[in-house]
Amino acid sequence: MNKCGKVKNPCKLCLRGVTTKTGVQCKGVCKKWAHFKCLNYTPGKIQDIKAGIIKITCPCPDCNTTEPKEIMVDPPYTCNNFQCPANSLPTCESTDCPSMYHITKTPIMPEPSPSNISSHIRPPLCPIKQRCDNSPPSSPPMNWSFDSSSFPKPLDGPTCKKQCEAQPISKVFEFTPNKCDTTITPKYISSSDSQLSKSRETQKSLYCTIEQMCSTVGQLSGQLKELMCRMMEAFEKNRPC
């Protein structure tokens, strides 16, 4: 019966022979070997290990040591400054480089001509369900009832002359108070007091103010007519025959 030969430097994982080209040896207590492929090392890392940039002290996956298992040996790659050029990856400046393909370039739109600007720009359409005007919501309508008999009626020439002769001049400019209660003083309402129209007191004050204005306008029109009658009468008296 043939005896099996002893494997030199057996791998800790696959139990096959390991050399310095195919694996590394643990520098710890076990002194065992392991293949690069069994440790799932990348080709770049294997190349750095062979070049002496990375030193493996313990490749054992089941090791619980607190010491670092990998040490960077080459000084250009051991700088602690993150802004050091040695720690930054080289970038290719060529636009044909495959590494530049992932950069999405924003498409540059051609500038429109002046004729196209006027044809393409249109005002936005107003939706049907919305109101186009920006007018504020209208307040509930108020019924203002005025007495039409309080306004003076237009008079003709003879009637105006008769009234002027029968009525003294002091009565023409006599002020007659309005129908509102004199105890209520009208309030001056500004544009910022829009909320005052909700109270009854303000509506009553506004009603009295408008009625007083109408009465004043009516009195002014009557006084102007009386004054015209006096001027016509004085003109006829002073007119030469």
∠ Cα 51 53 55 (to 5°): 100
H or E element that contains 70: strand 70-72
**Of residues 5, 13, 46, the one with CA closest to residue 32:** 13
Which pair of tokens denotes residue 15?
Answer: 């139990």
Give backbone dihedrals phi and psi of 150, rounded to 5 degrees, phi first.
-75, -20
* CB neighbour burial string for 196-232, b if at least 16 within 10 angstroms, e if fewer: eeeeeeeeebbbbbebeebbeeebeebeebbeebeee
How confident is the model at residue 153, as a pLDDT? Answer: 56
**Of residues 221, 222, 230, 224, the one with CA closest to residue 164:** 230
How confident is the model at residue 51, as a pLDDT? Answer: 85
Query: Are 12 and 39 a contacting pair, CB within 8 Å?
Result: no
Per-residue pLDDT of the chain (241 residues; tens, 9 = 90+): 456 678 888 888 888 888 888 898 888 778 888 899 898 888 888 888 888 888 888 888 887 777 778 877 765 555 666 676 655 656 667 777 665 655 554 556 666 665 555 555 555 555 555 545 555 555 555 555 545 555 555 555 556 556 555 655 555 445 454 445 445 455 555 555 555 445 677 777 888 888 888 888 888 888 888 888 888 888 888 877 6
Longest dimension (CA), the chain: 173
- The residue behind tokens 């080459």 is 74
DSSP 14-67: T--B--TTTEEE--SSS--EEETTTTT--HHHHHHHHHTSEEES---TT---SS
Three-class SS of residue 134?
coil
Residue 17 pairs with which residues in a beta bridge?
A: 10
Q: Which residues contact 172 (CB under 8 A, 6 or more apart)?
A: 222, 223, 226, 227
∠ Cα 79 22 9 (to 5°): 115
How confident is the model at residue 173, as a pLDDT? Answer: 47
Instruction: Supply the angle between the helices 157-166 and 200-238 in degrees, to the nearest 10.
Output: 100
The pTM assigned to this predicted structure is 0.31
Three-class SS of residue 240?
coil
Q: Distance (Å, rounded) from C-alpha 80 to C-alpha 102?
A: 30
